[in-house]
Structure 1
Amino acid sequence: MKAAKLGLILLALASLPAVAAPGLYIQGDAAYAKLKIKDDGGSTSNNGFAPRLSVGYDFGNNIRAAVDYTHYKTEKYSETTDYDHEHGKVKFNSIGVSAFYDFDVHPQLKPYVGARLGVNRVDAKDYYESASSQSSYSYRKTKTGIGALAGVGFNVTDNVTLDAGYRYNYWGKFDEAKLHTHEASIGVRVKF
Protein backbone atom coordinates (compact mmCIF):
# COMPACT_ATOMS: atom_id res chain seq x y z
CA MET A 1 0.00 0.00 0.00
CA LYS A 2 2.85 2.38 0.86
CA ALA A 3 4.49 1.66 -2.50
CA ALA A 4 1.25 2.51 -4.33
CA LYS A 5 0.92 5.83 -2.43
CA LEU A 6 4.56 6.66 -3.12
CA GLY A 7 4.07 5.84 -6.80
CA LEU A 8 1.00 8.10 -7.00
CA ILE A 9 2.87 10.95 -5.27
CA LEU A 10 5.84 10.62 -7.65
CA LEU A 11 3.50 10.51 -10.66
CA ALA A 12 1.68 13.63 -9.43
CA LEU A 13 4.99 15.49 -8.87
CA ALA A 14 6.26 14.50 -12.32
CA SER A 15 3.12 15.87 -13.97
CA LEU A 16 3.36 19.29 -12.28
CA PRO A 17 4.51 22.07 -14.60
CA ALA A 18 8.16 22.89 -14.19
CA VAL A 19 9.02 26.55 -13.71
CA ALA A 20 12.08 27.31 -15.77
CA ALA A 21 14.76 29.45 -14.23
CA PRO A 22 15.20 32.81 -15.93
CA GLY A 23 18.37 33.43 -17.85
CA LEU A 24 20.22 34.63 -20.92
CA TYR A 25 20.48 32.21 -23.86
CA ILE A 26 22.13 31.89 -27.25
CA GLN A 27 20.65 29.86 -30.09
CA GLY A 28 22.05 28.71 -33.40
CA ASP A 29 19.73 27.49 -36.17
CA ALA A 30 20.21 25.89 -39.55
CA ALA A 31 17.22 26.75 -41.73
CA TYR A 32 15.98 25.96 -45.19
CA ALA A 33 14.36 29.13 -46.47
CA LYS A 34 12.19 29.91 -49.46
CA LEU A 35 12.35 33.62 -50.24
CA LYS A 36 9.58 34.59 -52.65
CA ILE A 37 9.53 37.82 -54.69
CA LYS A 38 6.24 38.91 -56.30
CA ASP A 39 5.72 41.82 -58.68
CA ASP A 40 3.55 42.68 -61.66
CA GLY A 41 5.68 40.42 -63.88
CA GLY A 42 5.03 37.31 -61.78
CA SER A 43 7.01 35.70 -59.00
CA THR A 44 10.42 34.15 -58.46
CA SER A 45 11.92 32.36 -55.50
CA ASN A 46 15.32 31.86 -53.97
CA ASN A 47 15.61 28.61 -51.99
CA GLY A 48 18.51 27.61 -49.83
CA PHE A 49 20.39 27.42 -46.56
CA ALA A 50 19.82 30.30 -44.12
CA PRO A 51 21.89 30.24 -40.91
CA ARG A 52 20.49 32.19 -37.96
CA LEU A 53 22.04 33.30 -34.66
CA SER A 54 19.88 34.53 -31.77
CA VAL A 55 20.61 36.00 -28.35
CA GLY A 56 17.70 36.09 -25.97
CA TYR A 57 16.35 36.06 -22.46
CA ASP A 58 14.08 33.45 -20.89
CA PHE A 59 11.97 35.23 -18.26
CA GLY A 60 11.17 31.93 -16.53
CA ASN A 61 7.38 32.30 -16.86
CA ASN A 62 7.03 30.69 -20.33
CA ILE A 63 7.90 34.01 -22.02
CA ARG A 64 11.09 34.54 -24.00
CA ALA A 65 12.46 37.39 -26.11
CA ALA A 66 15.34 37.33 -28.59
CA VAL A 67 17.30 39.36 -31.12
CA ASP A 68 18.33 37.42 -34.22
CA TYR A 69 20.39 37.77 -37.40
CA THR A 70 19.67 35.66 -40.50
CA HIS A 71 21.72 35.51 -43.69
CA TYR A 72 19.85 34.13 -46.69
CA LYS A 73 21.35 32.48 -49.77
CA THR A 74 22.91 34.99 -52.16
CA GLU A 75 21.25 34.93 -55.57
CA LYS A 76 23.82 35.01 -58.40
CA TYR A 77 22.99 35.36 -62.05
CA SER A 78 24.82 35.61 -65.36
CA GLU A 79 23.61 36.01 -68.93
CA THR A 80 25.75 36.13 -72.05
CA THR A 81 24.69 36.77 -75.63
CA ASP A 82 26.72 37.27 -78.80
CA TYR A 83 26.84 41.01 -78.10
CA ASP A 84 27.00 41.52 -74.33
CA HIS A 85 27.40 39.98 -70.87
CA GLU A 86 25.40 40.80 -67.74
CA HIS A 87 26.05 39.35 -64.28
CA GLY A 88 25.39 40.21 -60.68
CA LYS A 89 24.26 39.11 -57.27
CA VAL A 90 21.57 39.92 -54.74
CA LYS A 91 22.10 39.53 -50.97
CA PHE A 92 19.29 39.18 -48.43
CA ASN A 93 19.75 39.75 -44.67
CA SER A 94 17.41 40.24 -41.73
CA ILE A 95 17.78 41.41 -38.12
CA GLY A 96 14.77 40.95 -35.88
CA VAL A 97 13.29 41.07 -32.41
CA SER A 98 11.00 38.20 -31.43
CA ALA A 99 8.71 37.43 -28.49
CA PHE A 100 7.81 33.79 -27.70
CA TYR A 101 5.30 32.01 -25.52
CA ASP A 102 6.25 28.45 -24.48
CA PHE A 103 3.28 26.18 -23.75
CA ASP A 104 3.92 24.17 -20.60
CA VAL A 105 2.54 20.81 -21.75
CA HIS A 106 5.45 18.67 -20.53
CA PRO A 107 8.65 19.39 -18.59
CA GLN A 108 10.81 18.31 -21.54
CA LEU A 109 8.62 19.11 -24.56
CA LYS A 110 7.46 22.70 -25.03
CA PRO A 111 5.62 23.90 -28.12
CA TYR A 112 5.83 27.65 -28.72
CA VAL A 113 4.38 30.47 -30.78
CA GLY A 114 5.84 33.89 -31.40
CA ALA A 115 5.82 37.14 -33.28
CA ARG A 116 8.72 38.95 -34.94
CA LEU A 117 9.50 42.49 -36.01
CA GLY A 118 12.33 42.53 -38.56
CA VAL A 119 14.59 44.99 -40.32
CA ASN A 120 15.22 43.43 -43.74
CA ARG A 121 17.85 44.41 -46.28
CA VAL A 122 18.19 43.73 -49.99
CA ASP A 123 21.55 44.56 -51.58
CA ALA A 124 21.95 44.08 -55.35
CA LYS A 125 24.86 44.69 -57.71
CA ASP A 126 24.56 44.34 -61.47
CA TYR A 127 27.34 44.58 -64.07
CA TYR A 128 26.89 44.99 -67.82
CA GLU A 129 29.61 44.68 -70.46
CA SER A 130 29.50 44.93 -74.23
CA ALA A 131 32.10 45.58 -76.94
CA SER A 132 31.43 49.32 -76.76
CA SER A 133 30.54 49.99 -73.10
CA GLN A 134 30.56 48.90 -69.49
CA SER A 135 28.21 49.89 -66.69
CA SER A 136 27.21 48.87 -63.21
CA TYR A 137 24.16 49.35 -61.04
CA SER A 138 23.74 49.08 -57.27
CA TYR A 139 20.54 48.83 -55.28
CA ARG A 140 20.33 48.78 -51.51
CA LYS A 141 17.12 49.11 -49.57
CA THR A 142 16.01 48.38 -46.01
CA LYS A 143 12.41 47.79 -44.92
CA THR A 144 10.60 46.84 -41.73
CA GLY A 145 8.55 43.67 -41.78
CA ILE A 146 6.57 41.39 -39.49
CA GLY A 147 6.49 37.67 -38.95
CA ALA A 148 5.01 34.72 -37.07
CA LEU A 149 6.82 31.73 -35.54
CA ALA A 150 5.86 28.32 -34.22
CA GLY A 151 7.79 25.30 -33.14
CA VAL A 152 8.71 22.92 -30.38
CA GLY A 153 11.62 22.77 -27.97
CA PHE A 154 12.92 19.56 -26.41
CA ASN A 155 14.84 20.10 -23.16
CA VAL A 156 17.86 17.80 -23.24
CA THR A 157 19.07 19.26 -19.91
CA ASP A 158 18.02 22.26 -17.81
CA ASN A 159 20.26 24.48 -19.97
CA VAL A 160 20.24 22.83 -23.41
CA THR A 161 17.17 22.70 -25.69
CA LEU A 162 16.86 21.21 -29.17
CA ASP A 163 14.54 23.37 -31.29
CA ALA A 164 12.54 22.66 -34.45
CA GLY A 165 10.47 25.47 -35.88
CA TYR A 166 8.74 27.28 -38.70
CA ARG A 167 9.00 31.00 -39.38
CA TYR A 168 7.09 33.22 -41.79
CA ASN A 169 8.40 36.73 -42.48
CA TYR A 170 6.80 39.43 -44.56
CA TRP A 171 9.74 41.61 -45.61
CA GLY A 172 7.75 44.52 -47.01
CA LYS A 173 7.48 46.10 -50.43
CA PHE A 174 10.74 46.90 -52.20
CA ASP A 175 9.81 49.28 -55.02
CA GLU A 176 7.15 47.25 -56.86
CA ALA A 177 8.14 43.86 -55.45
CA LYS A 178 6.75 42.19 -52.30
CA LEU A 179 9.08 39.82 -50.47
CA HIS A 180 8.34 37.12 -47.91
CA THR A 181 10.03 34.00 -46.60
CA HIS A 182 8.96 30.59 -45.34
CA GLU A 183 11.61 28.91 -43.18
CA ALA A 184 11.94 25.50 -41.53
CA SER A 185 14.75 25.24 -39.01
CA ILE A 186 16.47 23.06 -36.46
CA GLY A 187 18.77 24.40 -33.79
CA VAL A 188 20.23 24.32 -30.32
CA ARG A 189 19.47 26.79 -27.52
CA VAL A 190 21.90 27.05 -24.58
CA LYS A 191 20.85 28.98 -21.46
CA PHE A 192 23.47 30.49 -19.14
Structure 2
Amino acid sequence: MKKSLLAVIVGAFAFASIANANIYAEGDIGLSQTKANGSNNTRVEPRVAVGYKLGNTRVAGDYTHHGKVDGAKIHGLGASVLYDFDTNSKVQPYVGARVAANQFKYDNRANQVYKSSSETKIGYGVVAGAKYKLDGNWYANGGVEYNRLGSFDNTKVNNYGAKVGVGYGF
Protein backbone atom coordinates (compact mmCIF):
# COMPACT_ATOMS: atom_id res chain seq x y z
CA MET A 1 0.00 0.00 0.00
CA LYS A 2 2.79 2.43 0.91
CA LYS A 3 4.58 1.73 -2.40
CA SER A 4 1.37 2.33 -4.36
CA LEU A 5 0.74 5.60 -2.54
CA LEU A 6 4.32 6.70 -3.16
CA ALA A 7 3.98 5.83 -6.88
CA VAL A 8 0.75 7.86 -7.12
CA ILE A 9 2.35 10.88 -5.41
CA VAL A 10 5.47 10.76 -7.61
CA GLY A 11 3.28 10.34 -10.71
CA ALA A 12 1.10 13.29 -9.69
CA PHE A 13 4.14 15.56 -9.28
CA ALA A 14 5.56 14.41 -12.62
CA PHE A 15 2.23 15.03 -14.38
CA ALA A 16 1.85 18.44 -12.72
CA SER A 17 5.30 19.54 -13.86
CA ILE A 18 4.63 18.42 -17.45
CA ALA A 19 1.17 20.02 -17.46
CA ASN A 20 2.66 23.37 -16.38
CA ALA A 21 5.48 23.20 -18.93
CA ASN A 22 5.25 25.38 -22.01
CA ILE A 23 5.12 22.97 -24.94
CA TYR A 24 6.20 24.39 -28.29
CA ALA A 25 6.68 23.36 -31.91
CA GLU A 26 8.87 25.04 -34.50
CA GLY A 27 10.04 24.65 -38.04
CA ASP A 28 13.23 26.08 -39.52
CA ILE A 29 14.79 26.22 -42.94
CA GLY A 30 18.20 27.48 -43.83
CA LEU A 31 21.35 27.25 -45.83
CA SER A 32 23.83 24.65 -44.59
CA GLN A 33 27.21 23.43 -45.74
CA THR A 34 28.28 19.85 -45.10
CA LYS A 35 31.96 18.98 -45.44
CA ALA A 36 33.42 15.48 -45.84
CA ASN A 37 36.53 14.15 -47.62
CA GLY A 38 37.41 17.62 -48.83
CA SER A 39 34.08 17.99 -50.64
CA ASN A 40 31.55 20.67 -49.74
CA ASN A 41 27.82 20.44 -50.26
CA THR A 42 25.76 23.59 -49.71
CA ARG A 43 22.00 23.13 -49.69
CA VAL A 44 18.70 24.16 -48.16
CA GLU A 45 18.17 22.18 -44.96
CA PRO A 46 14.78 21.82 -43.17
CA ARG A 47 14.27 20.99 -39.48
CA VAL A 48 11.20 20.45 -37.28
CA ALA A 49 11.25 20.32 -33.48
CA VAL A 50 8.90 19.78 -30.57
CA GLY A 51 9.87 20.59 -27.03
CA TYR A 52 8.97 22.13 -23.73
CA LYS A 53 10.21 25.03 -21.69
CA LEU A 54 10.88 25.02 -17.96
CA GLY A 55 11.92 28.49 -16.84
CA ASN A 56 14.73 29.71 -19.09
CA THR A 57 15.67 26.17 -20.15
CA ARG A 58 14.19 24.39 -23.17
CA VAL A 59 14.48 20.72 -24.09
CA ALA A 60 13.54 19.63 -27.62
CA GLY A 61 13.50 16.66 -29.93
CA ASP A 62 14.04 17.32 -33.63
CA TYR A 63 14.28 15.81 -37.10
CA THR A 64 16.73 17.31 -39.62
CA HIS A 65 17.14 16.36 -43.28
CA HIS A 66 20.81 17.09 -44.01
CA GLY A 67 20.61 16.07 -47.67
CA LYS A 68 23.09 14.13 -49.77
CA VAL A 69 26.88 14.22 -49.33
CA ASP A 70 29.37 12.01 -51.19
CA GLY A 71 26.57 9.65 -52.26
CA ALA A 72 25.05 9.32 -48.78
CA LYS A 73 21.63 10.63 -47.76
CA ILE A 74 21.84 11.95 -44.20
CA HIS A 75 18.92 12.29 -41.74
CA GLY A 76 19.16 13.06 -38.03
CA LEU A 77 17.00 12.61 -34.94
CA GLY A 78 18.30 14.85 -32.19
CA ALA A 79 17.79 16.16 -28.70
CA SER A 80 18.73 19.69 -27.69
CA VAL A 81 19.06 21.59 -24.43
CA LEU A 82 18.78 25.36 -24.88
CA TYR A 83 19.11 28.29 -22.51
CA ASP A 84 17.05 31.45 -23.18
CA PHE A 85 18.52 34.71 -21.86
CA ASP A 86 15.88 36.89 -20.20
CA THR A 87 16.05 40.36 -21.78
CA ASN A 88 12.56 41.63 -20.83
CA SER A 89 11.97 42.47 -24.49
CA LYS A 90 10.57 40.88 -27.63
CA VAL A 91 14.05 39.66 -28.59
CA GLN A 92 15.35 36.67 -26.63
CA PRO A 93 18.85 35.31 -27.42
CA TYR A 94 19.65 31.66 -26.74
CA VAL A 95 22.52 29.15 -26.76
CA GLY A 96 22.39 25.38 -26.72
CA ALA A 97 23.90 21.98 -27.28
CA ARG A 98 22.63 19.08 -29.37
CA VAL A 99 23.16 15.32 -29.58
CA ALA A 100 21.81 13.34 -32.54
CA ALA A 101 21.63 9.90 -34.09
CA ASN A 102 22.44 10.53 -37.76
CA GLN A 103 21.66 7.93 -40.40
CA PHE A 104 23.91 7.74 -43.45
CA LYS A 105 22.16 5.77 -46.23
CA TYR A 106 24.10 4.65 -49.28
CA ASP A 107 22.64 3.39 -52.56
CA ASN A 108 25.10 1.58 -54.83
CA ARG A 109 24.31 0.60 -58.41
CA ALA A 110 27.02 -1.34 -60.20
CA ASN A 111 26.74 -3.92 -63.00
CA GLN A 112 22.92 -3.83 -62.83
CA VAL A 113 23.04 -4.81 -59.15
CA TYR A 114 21.38 -2.53 -56.63
CA LYS A 115 22.68 -2.55 -53.06
CA SER A 116 21.57 -0.31 -50.21
CA SER A 117 23.28 0.04 -46.85
CA SER A 118 23.12 2.42 -43.93
CA GLU A 119 25.09 3.37 -40.85
CA THR A 120 24.03 5.35 -37.81
CA LYS A 121 26.53 7.66 -36.16
CA ILE A 122 26.17 9.69 -32.97
CA GLY A 123 26.82 13.37 -33.54
CA TYR A 124 26.94 16.52 -31.46
CA GLY A 125 26.61 20.24 -32.01
CA VAL A 126 26.17 23.74 -30.68
CA VAL A 127 23.61 26.39 -31.59
CA ALA A 128 23.12 30.12 -30.92
CA GLY A 129 20.42 32.49 -32.04
CA ALA A 130 17.49 34.67 -31.05
CA LYS A 131 13.72 34.46 -30.96
CA TYR A 132 11.49 37.44 -31.74
CA LYS A 133 8.03 37.47 -30.14
CA LEU A 134 5.25 38.01 -32.69
CA ASP A 135 1.50 38.14 -32.00
CA GLY A 136 0.03 35.78 -29.40
CA ASN A 137 1.95 32.55 -29.04
CA TRP A 138 3.89 32.88 -32.32
CA TYR A 139 7.58 33.77 -32.58
CA ALA A 140 10.20 34.08 -35.30
CA ASN A 141 13.50 32.29 -34.87
CA GLY A 142 16.96 32.79 -36.36
CA GLY A 143 20.20 31.08 -35.53
CA VAL A 144 23.52 29.57 -36.50
CA GLU A 145 24.74 26.07 -35.75
CA TYR A 146 27.62 23.64 -36.00
CA ASN A 147 27.10 19.87 -36.01
CA ARG A 148 29.57 16.99 -36.16
CA LEU A 149 27.37 14.48 -37.95
CA GLY A 150 29.76 11.57 -37.52
CA SER A 151 33.19 10.14 -38.25
CA PHE A 152 34.26 7.30 -40.55
CA ASP A 153 37.85 6.10 -40.15
CA ASN A 154 39.81 9.30 -40.90
CA THR A 155 36.84 11.22 -42.34
CA LYS A 156 34.89 13.71 -40.23
CA VAL A 157 31.49 14.89 -41.48
CA ASN A 158 30.84 18.48 -40.32
CA ASN A 159 27.78 20.65 -40.90
CA TYR A 160 27.59 24.46 -40.58
CA GLY A 161 24.44 26.47 -41.13
CA ALA A 162 22.20 29.45 -40.60
CA LYS A 163 18.44 28.99 -40.28
CA VAL A 164 15.27 31.02 -39.92
CA GLY A 165 11.85 29.79 -38.92
CA VAL A 166 8.70 30.18 -36.89
CA GLY A 167 7.48 28.59 -33.71
CA TYR A 168 4.30 28.32 -31.68
CA GLY A 169 4.07 27.98 -27.89
CA PHE A 170 1.02 26.11 -26.62
Normalising to structure 1: TM-score of the pair?
0.73
CA RMSD of aligned residues (A): 1.8
How far apart in 2 are the matches of 1:101 and 1:176?
34
CA spacing shift, 1:56–1:187, aligned 2, 3 Å = same
Partners of 1:28 and 1:64 lie apart in 2 by 15
User: Take 2:51 and 2:99, find their aligned partners in 1: how far apart are those partners?
Assistant: 14
For 2:53 and 2:134, the matched residues in 1 are separated by 16
Unaligned runs of 5+ in 1: 1-20, 77-88
Please point out which of 54, 66, 76 is paired with 1:94. Answer: 76
Aligned residues: 151
Partner of 1:111: 93
Which secondary structure state, in structure 2, belongs to the residue aligned with residue 72 of structure 1? strand
Give the drift of 1:75.
4.7
Cα distance in 2, alignment partners of residues 47 and 122 from structure 1: 17
Cα pair 1:146 1:170 within 8 Å, conserved: yes
Whole-angstrom CA distance in 1 between matches of 2:117 and 2:156? 16
Residue 127 (structure 2) aligns with: 149
Name 2:145's counterpart in structure 1.
Answer: 167
Partner of 2:26: 27
- Residues 137-146 or 64-73, more deviating: 137-146
Shift in alpha-carbon separation, 1:92–1:173, aligned structure 2, 3 A: same
2:7 aligns with: none
Letter of the 2:66 partner, please give it.
Y
CA distance in 1, matches of 2:58, 2:47: 17
SS of equivalent to 1:92 = strand
**Structure 2 match to 1:63:** 57
Structure of greater Rg: 1
Question: What's the CA shift string for 1:21-72, capped at 9, x where partnerless?
Answer: 841110000121111113xxxx11211011100001011x111110000012
Q: Tell me, yes or no, if structure 1 residue 47 matches structure 2 residue 55.
A: no
Report Cα offsets for 1:153-172 as digits up to 9, x if no partner.
00113411100001111122
State yes or no: 1:120 paired with 2:115: no
Cα pair 2:34 2:69 within 8 Å, conserved: no
| Aligned equivalents of 2:135, 2:153: Cα separation in 1 | 47
Determine if contact 2:56/2:86 at 8 Å carries over to the other structure.
yes
Structure 1's 75 and 116: CA in aligned 2 closer, same or farther, altered over 3 A? closer
**TM-score if structure 2 supplies the norm length?**
0.82
What residue in structure 2 maps to residue 15 of structure 1?
none
Q: Distance in 1 between matches of 2:168 and 2:49?
A: 11
